[in-house]
Amino acid sequence: MADTIIRADKLSDSQYEYMQLIAEIMEIRKRGEKPLAFIRTYGCQQNVADSEKIKGMLMKSGFEFTDAPDNADFILFNTCAVREHAEDRVFGNVGALKNLKRRHPQILIALCGCMMEQEHIANRIYNSFPFVGLVFGTHSLHHFPELMYNSLVNGKRVFERGNDDKKIYEGFPVRRDGSFKGWLPIMYGCNNFCTYCIVPYVRGRERSRDKELIVSEACAMIEQGYKDITLLGQNVNSYGKTLENPVSFARLITEIDSIDGDYWLRFMTSHPKDCSKELIDAIAGGTHISKHLHLPFQSGSDRVLKAMNRHYDRKKYLDIINYAKEKIDGLSLTSDIIVGFPGETYEDFKQTLSLIREVEFTSLFTFIFSPRKGTPAEKMDDPVSAEEKSKWFKELLDVQEEIAAKRCSAMVGKTEKVLIESVKEKTGELNGRTSGNIIVELNGDSSLIGSFQNVRITKARNWILKGEIENGGI
- If one asks whether residue 301 binds ligand SAH (CB under 6 A), the answer comes out as no
CB of 141 to ligand F3S, least distance (A): 13
Q: In whole angstroms, what is the distance from residue 129 CA to residue 102 CA?
A: 12
Cβ distance 155 to 180 under 8 Å? no
Q: Is the peptide bond preceding residue 334 cis, with omega within 30 degrees of 0?
A: no
Q: Which candidate, 348, 359, 355, places its Cα nearest to that of 392? A: 348
Among 336, 360, 382, 468, interactor with ligand SAH by CB under 6 A: 336
Q: In whole angstroms, what is the distance from residue 349 CA to residue 341 CA?
A: 10
- Interhelix angle 211-223/249-257, rounded to 10 degrees, is 30
Query: What is the footprint of ligand SAH within residues 191-250 (CB under 6 A)?
Result: 196-197, 199, 234-235
Cβ distance 140 to 116 under 8 Å? no
Of 30-38, 138-146, 324-332, 366-374: span binding ligand SAH (CB under 6 A): 366-374
Q: 38: phi > 0 → left, psi -120 to 50 → alpha, else beta; which?
A: beta
Cβ distance 293 to 324 under 8 Å? yes
Q: State whether residue 34 is helix, strand or coil.
A: coil
Binding site for ligand SF4 (CB under 6 A): 190, 192-194, 197, 199-200, 234-235, 271
- By beta-carbon proximity to ligand SAH, the closer residue of 197 and 259 is 197
* Residue 83 binds which entry of ligand F3S, ligand SF4, ligand SAH, none, CB below 5-8 Å type-dependent: ligand SAH
DSSP 4: P
Q: In whole angstroms, what is the distance from residue 49 CA to residue 428 CA?
A: 30
364-373 per-residue burial string, b: 16 or more CB within 10 A, e: under 16 = bebbbbbebe
Q: In whole angstroms, what is the distance from residue 217 CA to residue 178 CA?
A: 15
- By beta-carbon proximity to ligand F3S, the closer residue of 167 and 391 is 167
CB of 197 to ligand SAH, least distance (A): 4
- If one asks whether residue 90 binds ligand F3S (CB under 6 A), the answer comes out as no
Q: Taking the C-alpha atoms of 190, 176, 14 and 138 in order, what is their torsion angle to the nearest 10 degrees?
A: 30
* Residue 193 binds which entry of ligand SAH, ligand SF4, ligand F3S, none, CB below 5-8 Å type-dependent: ligand SF4
Among 36, 48, 72, 82, interactor with ligand SAH by CB under 6 A: 82
* Residue 372 binds which entry of ligand SF4, ligand F3S, ligand SAH, none, CB below 5-8 Å type-dependent: ligand SAH
Beta bridge partners of 461: 464
CB of 424 to ligand F3S, least distance (A): 27
Among 46, 230, 237, 269, interactor with ligand F3S by CB under 6 A: 46
Query: What is the footprint of ligand F3S within residues 105-144 (CB under 6 A)?
Result: 114
CB of 273 to ligand SF4, least distance (A): 9
DSSP 189: -
Exposed, middle or buried: residue 10 (CB in 10 Å: 0-12, 13-18, 19+)? exposed
- By beta-carbon proximity to ligand SF4, the closer residue of 147 and 232 is 232
Among 271, 314, 389, 433, interactor with ligand SAH by CB under 6 A: 271
Give the CB-nearest residue to ligand SAH: 336
Of 14-22, 44-52, 63-71, 366-374: span binding ligand F3S (CB under 6 A): 44-52
- If one asks whether residue 82 binds ligand F3S (CB under 6 A), the answer comes out as yes
- If one asks whether residue 298 binds ligand SAH (CB under 6 A), the answer comes out as yes
CB of 367 to ligand SAH, least distance (A): 4
Q: Which candidate, 401, 45, 6, places its Cα nearest to that of 205? A: 6
- The residues of the shown chain that bind ligand F3S, judged by CB under 6 A, are 43-44, 46-47, 80-82, 114, 198-199, 202-203
